[in-house]
Amino acid sequence: MLAPLIKSSAGDLWAKIATHAGNGGLQALAVVLFLIAGCLLNKKKIKCCTYSCLAALLLSGILVQITKFAVGRGRPGMRLPAWTFKPWTSSNNWHSFPSGHAASSFSLATVITAFYPRLWWLWYGVAAFIGFGRVISESHFPTDVLAGAILGSLCGGLCLLVVRKYIN
């Protein structure tokens, strides 16, 4: 399904947008800006949402990096079989599993959906767009994105429980 987009101008654009939009640092910056707005407007819902988002980004980011290092799956662009692994290496070429972009995006989608459920399709749509973009860019296998989505969703759900307990 996505194969025709790989190495096409539309696919290149999709991959670039997804790579930048799914960057955890950029996502964290956006969340911090919303936190500042929530503090200035004294909106408890926005503050609780952004604290949950920051916690989810942090937790998913830590778990993704540990897993990438321990698993050591080669990236699709290396043209190796999908089952080629080299654990405990520091080379980014061997850090395909799981997708950090998908994990951070789905952790945010999970948290934001809990606070703004009417737009669930938008939050998860953006996360899926980012995940598929990582496959199109040949940075990840589909299973890397799926694992990142699951991990991110679980982190988002866990952080919601913890942050809500201490803020409410």
Distance between CA atoms of 88 and 106, rounded to whole angstroms?
26
Per residue in 44-101, pLDDT tens?
888 889 999 999 999 999 999 999 999 999 999 888 887 888 899 888 889 999 999 9
Inter-residue contact 27 to 108 (CB < 8 Å):
yes
Domain boundaries, the chain: 7-167
pTM higher than 0.85 for the full model? yes
Helical spans, DSSP H, in the chain: 9-21, 24-41, 44-71, 100-115, 120-136, 142-167
What is the C-alpha separation between 105 and 92, in angstroms, rounded? 20
The model's pLDDT over 11-51, given as tens digits with 9 standing for 90+, comes to: 778 878 888 778 878 888 888 888 888 888 888 888 889 99
Q: What is the mean pLDDT of the chain?
A: 89
